[in-house]
């Protein structure tokens, strides 16, 4: 599902609105927890990285914008955040519907499709499913 997450930090006291993909199985109450956790993870990484210069984010609100049938339903596949000298910290995600893989890098809020799934057809889940069907896995 699509969610709207609003947070503030030292240089954005009025708040920043982000539209993100969250797992479809989240209930209304879990959406808020999901947003709070996302910012908690962000703050931990931010403090690790920038120490006293860290710009931590404060949760304002998080609400569902409804299920997006076209969108991928990303679920996190790693329990502990991965680290790589080239990419830094990242999490691995897989779509439960079409099966493609992606990563969320450190302080990035969006999930990026892996290089193998760079083609435009993979952008939305419905077209990805079609494409995979045609081409074979
Ligand atoms: Zn998908």
For residue 109, pLDDT over 70 is answered with no
What is the Cα Rg of the chain in Å?
Answer: 16
Q: Give the residue extent of every domain in the chain.
A: 2-66, 74-135
Query: Looking at residues 92-97, what average pLDDT do you find?
Result: 92
For residue 45, the CA-to-ligand 1 centroid distance in Å is 27
- At 94, the pLDDT band (50, 70, 90 cuts) reads very high
The pLDDT tens digits of the residues spanning 30-79 come to: 999 999 999 999 999 999 999 999 999 999 999 988 876 678 888 889 88
Distance CA 98, CA 101 (A): 9
Distance CA 85, CA 92 (A): 16
For residue 72, the CA-to-ligand 1 centroid distance in Å is 4
For residue 52, the CA-to-ligand 1 centroid distance in Å is 39
Q: Model's pTM, two decimal places?
A: 0.59
For residue 26, the CA-to-ligand 1 centroid distance in Å is 17
Both tokens of 65, joined, read 């914008």
């Amino acid at each position: 599902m699509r969610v709207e997450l609003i947070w503030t930090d030292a240089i954005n006291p009025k708040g920043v609105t982000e539209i993100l993909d969250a797992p479809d199985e989240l209930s209304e109450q879990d959406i808020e927890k999901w947003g709070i956790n996302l910012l908690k993870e962000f703050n931990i990484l931010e403090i690790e990285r920038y120490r006293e210069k860290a710009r931590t984010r404060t949760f304002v609100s998080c609400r569902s914008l409804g299920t997006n049938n076209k969108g991928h339903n990303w679920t996190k596949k790693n329990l502990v955040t991965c680290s790589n000298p080239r990419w830094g910290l990242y999490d691995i995600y897989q779509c439960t519907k079409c099966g493609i893989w992606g990563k969320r890098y450190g302080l990035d809020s969006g999930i990026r499709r892996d290089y193998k799934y760079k083609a435009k057809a993979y952008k939305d889940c419905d077209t990805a499913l079609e494409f995979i069907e045609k081409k074979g896995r």
